[in-house]
Structure 1
Amino acid sequence: MSAKLRVILREQIRKLPLPSGIPETVEDLKNIVQETFAIEEDFSLQFQDQEFYGQFFTLLKTCDIKDKDTIKVVPAEPVILESFDSSGADLSEDVGSTASSDTIILSSPRSTSSLRTVSWPAQFEVPTFAFDTELVLQAANEVYQKDGTLLNNPSVKSDILEKLAESIFFYTAYPSQAQREQVAVALIMKHPCLKDPVSFNGLYGWHNSLKYKMGNYRAKVKHLGLPELQVNTLKRKSAADSTPAKNVKKAKKSEVNYLPPPPQGESLESLEQVRVELLYEFKKRDNDSVINDKMATTFSLRRTDVILNKPPVIDFRARWPALFALSQVEEEFRRITLKPLQSTFLGKLDQYTPQLLSLFRRKGGAVGRKLDETLDMLNKDNSIESRREAVVRGLILYLGEKPEGFIKVYQIFDNDDAAAFQEAISTMVLNIFMVSKAKDEGLDNQIGIAIEGEEVLFGISDVAHACAFLIGLTYALELSYPKKLKYTFEVFQKIFLELEDVNLKMSSKVHDLKVMLHA
């Protein structure tokens, strides 16, 4: 039965239609209010009680309101950040009390760093809930095992959602649909009495509740000034993007540390001073240790530059020249994803080489003929570097894309060729280039990377390493993949680096390739 409520906001009085009637729980009603009126901050609800001449009282149960009643949205008080020290003290009492207090604890006893230190787990571990909630669940699970009766307790659901939100936020502020489903599955497997009675698999209600709960939780903790949340507040958006769900800046390619806060005791202003110091340190020889320390310290400032300011590569390189050293591309990728770049990429490339070569040789038609020509290079040089290059070139062809548009080859005989090469660099958007001089015939090619018309890396040993460094730069510089090579880069990311897009399913072409590689 449908219903309507009169809602008092800060500066407006609005009508709230409820086609399915008044929700069973206050939490569900809050979710609807938050989504309908695009409320970003945390809040509570009050209702107008006619028994007390229209005075407002805190809404604890939705049975206290009926169709056409009045409710008021009351913003919550600002929350306080509490951080942990590294003393290893028992924090169980503090953690257990968060569900009933206004203090939000973001840190974990596992780390005092401002960065996340673990990526999303393969198996989500359901946390331990409040003591009374655990007792209720234990009894309800026993009843469910006997006769299949499901638990219907709104207060227990509220505690469960709060604790799950805390656990999810430890890994990511913006869980994907697949991640929320994973949490729901883990919850139902551990506590089958919590199955949703409406959906066929018992998950939909929890999946939907987690979606809204994470929105509430982000609203609660955004007052702490976390950059990954502040960047998506309405006041930070342009007029064209002034809706909560539009142009949300968040991790999309399994970035663990997408937009982290400054280290404890630092600010963007103090980090800017470190950045200036870094410019001088970068000019010194044999100074890798100092450079790496300062690059790690200024990581949050660099991510702020990349994501909020989106400078051209030439300007970003002037501000952060140390990032464009091979070793720092590797380190930056590790800071963002927690994965080693070169060893992961090359390890998977080598692992799948036999299967890929087999697929290439079985391919027929025009693509098959081009693949045969590409693999002929192995007859001249069967070194591991040559084999990797042949596989990369073959992979691009196999996926229906053009390697010559990605890997550019040049030979320089004279000054005119040198000038033409520099002119070609200025037209490259996201490319690997190989250049050799005629007088150096017989020596290895010099390999580099060009982005936005600028040579950003040079002196790379081979094409496979260049591919890995290029994918690392796309993460470090927040770059989109070239449309004409979207399948190639998808394989680089999702198969060779095993980094999924959290909100984008694997394309059918790449999925089919993955299945064949694991057959």
Structure 2
Amino acid sequence: MCFLENDIDGETVDCGLTEAMVGYLFDGSFKKQIKFQQFVRQYKEAETIVILEPVPVGVANSTAELQPTPSNDSSGEPAHKRLPVVIVIPTFPKDVQTRLDAKESCQKVPKIRHKIIRVLYEIMAEYTMYPTNAEYIQVAKALIVKYPFLRDKEGNGYDICVGEDLMSVEAHVKVLQSECSKTHPDVSSVKDLMARTFSWRRREVTEGMPVDDVLKKYPYLRMPSGLFNEVDQIHPSTSSFCARFRDCFTAVLPNVLKLAKGQSHLTKHYTDARQDALAEDLPGIDLRAGLIFLPSIFREKIEHLITVGEGDPATPYPTIQLMDNDWIMAISGRGFSVVKVDGIAVCQCTSIDEAFITAFSMYFAFNIAYPVHLKNTLTFLQRCIVSIVEEGEKPLPVTLLRKINLLY
């Protein structure tokens, strides 16, 4: 009750209690006075207080332009405050704090790094959901003051391992996940957040982040449009990935259908689907059939890409699962499918052509090497259909070029 009666709280302790004040609070007990003073010393040793430098007007204005405008409450005041003058770096979770106490450069370990970022983000989230770049930097500086061994050896020392990019990514990811959880997310906002987090996401993917973790962190990649946009960011072009795929494949479609007649065992299903179709449905049927026939031209099997029925595919590679157990329905465009990768059902598609392009885009989005049993088909699509050439790729083998020449 003495603490309440005398208005003693954390702020009062931070300001400092004299020995007389402590004696008054614990009158008649030297043991309690000593233990309380010991507690205060340990509390202060566990904190680092950093006085933030004033943010230059030019910097504040330039970064503020990138931030959403804060809403106002009923009083007309902004719904959030800027960071306080004094920033306190708290104690981290035990597994992180143990490493920091041992002066380990643990920011290089993804799991530890993410925990550090989460704590720093929570500090800022108490005051604003839209911190400026200058504020990101100041909080990162506070961390480096307390743990100087986390400083990067290059640049300003904090912007790569625990600085602006990392913290801003975590903030954007929270907003992205919240937006994607809505029934009708704001697509323009989602695309903007995916663009802001793109560089960091690519580093996570190339460093080996599991597909399941990538999908949880960036749920927009569970949508075909999200995967197509991701490829557009990885390999920018004057035309979109999806449009380029459809237009360029349509150009070779007549030759695909011609060459596949004597090579694919599914040609009868195509004939049956076409027989009962309306004239306006024939272009779509031809396109879907051509995609299904394509692997046979390169002496590969479509069954390595498309499975029929509800059983899980026996491969970690991107796979299309026809849920209606019927090739004719798939070719006709009446069945729906699920696109899977690494045993995870990523998204549903209403047509086999959308599913085909979605599965193909996953190789780029998740940094997956082509499997041997589909390498020629996928290489043809990459090099000739969507015109993507990765740095350091070798010229196409002569045997593959001969097959490709038959299509043009």
Q: TM-score range by the shorter chain?
A: 0.5 to 0.7
1:324 corresponds to which of 213, 216, 222:
222
Paired amino acid for 1:496: I
Q: What is residue 378 of structure 1 aligned with on the other side?
A: 274
Contact 1:425-1:455 at 8 Å conserved across structures:
no
Say whether 1:356 aligns with 2:256: yes
Say whether 1:479 aligns with 2:368: yes
Superposition pairs of residues 93-132 of structure 1, within 5 angstroms = none
Contact 1:374-1:394 at 8 Å conserved across structures:
no
Compared CA separation, residues 374 and 499, structure 1 to 2 (3 A): farther
Cα-to-partner distance string for 1:199-226 (whole Å, 9 max, x where unaligned):
xxxxxxxxxxxxxxxxxxxxxxx9669x
Structure 2 Cα separation of the partners of residues 464 and 477 of structure 1: 20
Say whether 1:402 aligns with 2:402: no
Q: What is residue 289 of structure 2 aligned with on the other side?
A: 390
> Counterpart of 2:312 in 1: which secondary structure?
helix
> Counterpart of 1:436 in 2: which secondary structure?
coil
Cα-to-partner distance string for 1:22-78 (whole Å, 9 max, x where unaligned):
xxxxxxxxxxxxxxxxxxxxxxxxxxxxxxxxxxxxxxxxxxxxxxxxxxxxxxxxx
Write 1 or 2 for the structure with the bigger share of strand: 1
Cα-to-partner distance string for 1:75-117 (whole Å, 9 max, x where unaligned):
xxxxxxxxxxxxxxxxxxxxxxxxxxxxxxxxxxxxxxxxxxx
Deviation at 1:354, TM superposition (A): 1.4
Paired amino acid for 1:436: D
1:290 corresponds to which of 178, 183, 189:
189
Q: What is residue 123 of structure 2 aligned with on the other side?
A: none
Paired amino acid for 1:489: L
Deviation at 1:385, TM superposition (A): 2.4
Say whether 1:451 aligns with 2:349: no
Deviation at 1:451, TM superposition (A): 0.2
Cα-to-partner distance string for 1:233-269 (whole Å, 9 max, x where unaligned):
xxxxxxxxxxxxxxxxxxxxxxxxxxxx99xx94222
Q: Which runs of 5+ in 2 are unaligned?
A: 1-152
Q: What is residue 342 of structure 1 aligned with on the other side?
A: 242
Structure 1 Cα separation of the partners of residues 319 and 195 of structure 2: 27
Paired amino acid for 2:344: E
Superposition pairs of residues 48-447 of structure 1, within 5 angstroms = 266-284=164-182, 285-308=184-207, 310-339=208-237, 340-361=240-261, 363=262, 367=263, 370=265, 372-373=267-268, 375-376=270-271, 377-381=273-277, 383-410=282-309, 421=310, 423-425=311-313, 429-436=317-324, 444-447=334-337
Deviation at 1:508, TM superposition (A): 2.5
In angstroms, what is the RMSD of aligned CA positions?
3.2
Structure 1 Cα separation of the partners of residues 336 and 172 of structure 2: 34
> Counterpart of 2:300 in 1: which secondary structure?
coil
Paired amino acid for 1:429: Y
Compared CA separation, residues 392 and 293, structure 1 to 2 (3 A): same
Q: What is residue 110 of structure 2 aligned with on the other side?
A: none
Write 1 or 2 for the structure with the bigger share of helix: 2
Deviation at 1:445, TM superposition (A): 0.8
Normalised TM-score (structure 1): 0.43
Compared CA separation, residues 472 and 359, structure 1 to 2 (3 A): same
Structure 2 Cα separation of the partners of residues 396 and 374 of structure 1: 16
Deviation at 1:270, TM superposition (A): 2.1
Structure 2 Cα separation of the partners of residues 299 and 446 of structure 1: 30
Structure 1 Cα separation of the partners of residues 404 and 204 of structure 2: 35
Structure 1 Cα separation of the partners of residues 402 and 266 of structure 2: 19
Q: What is residue 50 of structure 2 aligned with on the other side?
A: none
Deviation at 1:426, TM superposition (A): 7.4
Cα-to-partner distance string for 1:336-366 (whole Å, 9 max, x where unaligned):
10131110001111111112223334x5xxx
Compared CA separation, residues 498 and 485, structure 1 to 2 (3 A): same
Paired amino acid for 1:433: Q
> Counterpart of 1:408 in 2: which secondary structure?
strand
Deviation at 1:468, TM superposition (A): 1.4
Q: Which runs of 5+ in 1 are unaligned?
A: 1-221, 226-260, 411-420
2:354 corresponds to which of 447, 465, 479:
465
Compared CA separation, residues 437 and 393, structure 1 to 2 (3 A): closer
Deviation at 1:292, TM superposition (A): 1.2
Deviation at 1:386, TM superposition (A): 1.8
Q: What is residue 88 of structure 2 aligned with on the other side?
A: none
Normalised TM-score (structure 2): 0.53
Structure possessing the higher radius of gyration over alpha carbons: 2
Q: What is residue 512 of structure 1 aligned with on the other side?
A: 402
Deviation at 1:428, TM superposition (A): 5.2
Contact 2:318-2:360 at 8 Å conserved across structures:
no
Contact 1:409-1:433 at 8 Å conserved across structures:
yes
Deviation at 1:427, TM superposition (A): 5.5
Contact 2:215-2:222 at 8 Å conserved across structures:
yes
Structure 1 Cα separation of the partners of residues 266 and 225 of structure 2: 33
Aligned residue pairs total 243
Compared CA separation, residues 292 and 511, structure 1 to 2 (3 A): same
Paired amino acid for 1:493: Q
Contact 2:179-2:185 at 8 Å conserved across structures:
no
Cα-to-partner distance string for 1:389-413 (whole Å, 9 max, x where unaligned):
2111221111111112211122xxx
Contact 1:374-1:393 at 8 Å conserved across structures:
no
Structure 1 Cα separation of the partners of residues 308 and 176 of structure 2: 35
> Counterpart of 2:323 in 1: which secondary structure?
strand
Deviation at 1:374, TM superposition (A): 5.4
Cα-to-partner distance string for 1:445-490 (whole Å, 9 max, x where unaligned):
11221000011111x2322222211221211110111211111111
> Counterpart of 1:424 in 2: which secondary structure?
coil
Structure 1 Cα separation of the partners of residues 287 and 242 of structure 2: 13
Q: Which runs of 4+ in 1 moved over 6 A?
A: none
Structure 2 Cα separation of the partners of residues 335 and 316 of structure 1: 16
Deviation at 1:293, TM superposition (A): 1.0
Structure 2 Cα separation of the partners of residues 352 and 427 of structure 1: 29
Structure 2 Cα separation of the partners of residues 317 and 516 of structure 1: 39
Contact 2:307-2:313 at 8 Å conserved across structures:
no
Contact 1:447-1:461 at 8 Å conserved across structures:
yes
Paired amino acid for 2:299: G
Structure 2 Cα separation of the partners of residues 392 and 327 of structure 1: 19
